Structure 1
């Protein structure tokens, strides 16, 4: 793939090298090229081994599935004004279906809430070809491979960061708001936004459910609203730490900040 437009583009590193993400992400001219490079990445040996092991040892309920077992790209339109940043694909969710937050309980909770505020065409997400559409929203993550125990290491987060930085940079002309789902997402998002050209305050703002920070406009970009929410993990939703109404409230505020309205003309 020639991403430079020249006759002799530089040769990317092998997809298993830790320089692969920064090299390829920084040269991607659009989300299509970015996603194409991302899905070939093998830069984190532990994550590669785990995602492929999970695919080889499927749950009984998914024995008939051909697992995606690759890095999972973001999902949503290229002109999204709202980004939602999670943690990483679930082993038997996104790692199986090949789409963020698709095929697991966290995704069911998230997409039902997005549908409730008019930002998704349906309240469920089961597979890549289920017809789900997002309205002005891009869903992504700071780590694109399923990690063991849903816990990426700091090194894996940092190796994967160029993909998120590039994705945010491509979305930048129209991006107005970002929702970080969980403390890990919040802590990974802010440095990525700084690397993508926004002015991030120091010390970094503290995460909390309902937290909100405005990043001032820079380089002709609009101000960017950052909102925090607890992650819709089963641990949080089963215990009531995060209720459906709590998530809907954050998403409704984010939709307002992003200037979004659903097909019926209202985000509420």
Structure 2
């Protein structure tokens, strides 16, 4: 898709995802084998290879992200366990902490990678990746305190029913961020300091987008679409041009 092209639907953005050779490398693991199995299961359906190495010159229990043969991010295995491998996605619906805990660098660094992700019960972890990245982008907007955040929820009732999600957007209301929320009007949130957009088209019902465009500098965008019930295809990006296009698309097409 050309830089100035206007996509006809949200899935055209998937063409912007690069075809990197991506792998996660666990280095000097001391945690038990089930931890490695959890990591393998989380990415078993993805184009992400999992490698294990013993390197005497390195610290123990490290996870490195490698893109096209180059290490681009490093996180501790403990951090990955605490924020992803040992986490239940329901915590983000019922919890109140929202985006207080940031996402490990090796997960944030998987930008431009196209994923095909399943929710529970098909998978306990795959869909959680989209939830974590959503919170990461919302946190960026909160910390910036300015700019535009556009989020699609499929059903607007989620902003009332999911306490964790509700808390995030209540906190964002305390910042000077221009917040726009999109979804089927099955329960428009009360007292939310945001511009509410409603509709019933396929994109309203099946898009999962979180797009933050700051006043200057590069923002971030998660762009996903539900291909079939509880199965999502999507990616995230920090590319300035793609973020700007996604922001324009949501502004003009929804």
Question: TM over 0.5, yes or no?
Answer: no
More strand by share: 2
